[in-house]
Amino acid sequence: MKILVFGKTGQVAHELARRCPGNVDAVFLGRDEVDLSTPDNAAQAISHARVDAVINAAAWTSVDKAEAEEAAATVVNGDAPGAMARACADKSIPFLHISTDYVFDGAGSEPFVPEHATLPLGAYGRSKLAGEKAVQASDAHHLILRTSWVVSPHGANFIKTMLRLGHERDSLRVVADQFGGPTPAASIADALYTAARIMLDGHVGGTHHFAGAPDTSWANFAREIMVGASLPCQIEDIPTSAFPTPAKRPMNSRLDCSSFNEVFGVARPEWRAGLRDILNELGEIK
């Protein structure tokens, strides 16, 4: 199986490269090779490639910056995936696309099912929802995989921020009223490879959720990080209102992942195990 992957340096793309199965030939295209701010370039790359499937692991991920640059974010997160999906439809090959919990409004306390009405709170969520709609309208054999709270040993993410601050400070104030499932990028990569293989063998696809278990708060996640790294830094619970940001965050990012397990046989990853692996790789476990 040969797969074309958009993305090279992001958390999921990095893990897709590291965890590529032996029977898969994956080709990775970074921003220097295909700039998604010009969606036609992405479509041309697919048209010229001799591959069995395409994974889009590239995106505009700066949530706060998107508030000031929504048009640019929408080109990358909305127009480019649509162009990719249409190119895949033309070649009759599967297209796998990563989306986000930010397409929901974060209301309530129940996990969101894939069929739940979407209502983004900000520009980033709107740009990602635009991508979902473009992929769904493309006639491509597609998978839209919504995930949340992605973490890994690479790039910028919550674990690495907490470790940096935990080494510098005796205490940290962390939001305790936002809930979701931390998701190791390694688990997302494995799930995508599994899904790609199954999609090549049949016609399953659609929109599904994949997030780490169990659901927790940012503050409790921070505590687990400090304990895992044997750092004495104490975590103080604060409300979201005490930590304002340009973009409004969903209070409830819980995702119902049962349909992905039913269709592709991939259960929610246990994020504590993923956290141990990440801390070990970062040299935080002595």
Specify the residue for token string 């033309």. 90
Q: Is 124 a catalytic residue?
A: yes
Which of 6, 60, 102, 124 is the catalytic position? 124
Specify the residue for token string 């973009």. 247
Specify the residue for token string 């688990």. 187
Strand partners, 26: 3
Strand partners, 145: 98, 208
Sign of the dihedral through C-alpha 166, 168, 171, 177: negative
CA distance 71 to 78: 10
- Amino acid at residue number 205: G
Angle between helices 158-168 and 271-281 (to 10 degrees): 60
CA distance 119 to 205: 23
CA distance 169 to 259: 42
Torsion of CA 17, 19, 20, 23, to 10 degrees: 160
Catalytic positions, written as ranges: 124
